[in-house]
Amino acid sequence: GESVGLHLPTLSVQEGDNSIINCAYSNSASDYFIWYKQESGKGPQFIIDIRSNMDKRQGQRVTVLLNKTVKHLSLQIAATQPGDSAVYFCAENMGGSGNTGKLIFGQGTTLQVKP
Amino acid sequence: DARVTQTPRHKVTEMGQEVTMRCQPILGHNTVFWYRQTMMQGLELLAYFRNRAPLDDSGMPKDRFSAEMPDATLATLKIQPSEPRDSAVYFCASGPVGNSPLHFGNGTRLTVT
């Protein structure tokens, strides 16, 4: 039967294209943000993080953009590969004051990469 | 690679039984978090510890759930008595103090019938 639960937004992209996953966060006092990737049967895996004193950070094939004015975070994946298919979560540190406090997760976005 | 280890990976039990889930955080990490993941609610924070002391367990049903850190290498999450609505994947994560990413284990998938 039909499963009932969160309807995760899904982003479907062609292999080799760039992907952009968006996230709105809730607390204007949050000072640290993380993107995680979760594959089936595994725990969330760290991808990249950014502190609130930055608006952009780049890693290998990934870039995180932070817009504090509108409380928006995005993850850009360059040259998306089939191995990038997973659920992506943004998380905000609501503890503030530079301490590891509550990491609160967004609902997640499913990325599907078509070969 | 250092990793967070959770046991058991899967647990099936009957309603009313006690369930204990264990977590070995990464050596040197002094914050430990318990999360629960369900289709309905996503990833929910249940409790977290710093230097083995509980800092916040407001996300945890107090009447049946308890979380402890008997020592720096072991965190436990107990449910007594378990109920079908507790069926979920329970994740443990650890990290150093300060703005650093948490490292997650692969979870315990709990099914309560």
Q: In this complex, which of A6, A32, A104 lies closest to B45 when CB atoms are compared?
A: A104
pLDDT of residue A100: 53
pLDDT of A98 above 50: no
The DSSP secondary-structure symbol of B26 reads: P
**Cα B26 from Cα B3, distance rounded (Å):** 6
Position A6 scores a pLDDT of 57
pLDDT in tens, A75-84: 999 999 999 9
CA angle A88, A90, A91 (to 5 degrees): 140
Smallest CA–CA distance, residue B44 to chain A, in Å, is 8
Across A33-47, A57-71, A100-114, least confident range = A100-114
State the pLDDT confidence band at A96, using cuts at 50, 70 and 90.
low
The residue of chain A nearest to residue B91, with distances taken between CA atoms, is A43
Of A4, A43, A100, the CB nearest to B97: A100
> What is the reported pLDDT for A67?
95
Q: What is the pLDDT of residue B55?
A: 86
* Residues found in chain A: 115
How far apart CA A63 and CA B3 sit, in angstroms, is: 25
The tokens describing A87, both together, are 């659920």
The tens place of each residue's pLDDT in chain B, 113 residues long, gives 679 999 999 999 999 999 999 999 999 998 999 999 998 889 999 999 999 999 888 889 889 999 999 999 999 999 999 999 999 999 999 998 776 888 999 999 999 99
Least CA distance to B38: which residue of chain A? A5
| Residue B111 vs residues A101, B30, B85: alpha-carbon distances, Å | 29, 30, 9
Distance between A12 CA and the closest CA of chain B, angstroms:
21
pLDDT at A59 over 80: yes
Q: How far apart are CA B66 and CA A63, in angstroms?
A: 39
* Binary contact (B104, A51; C-beta < 8 A): no
Q: How confident is the model at residue A2 (pLDDT cuts 50, 70, 90)?
A: very low
* A102 lies within 8 A of chain B by CB: yes
- Mean pLDDT score across all residues of chain A: 88
* Contact predicate A47/A95, CB 8 Å: no
CB distance B41–A3 less than 8 Å?
A: no
Would the pLDDT of A62 be above 80? Answer: yes
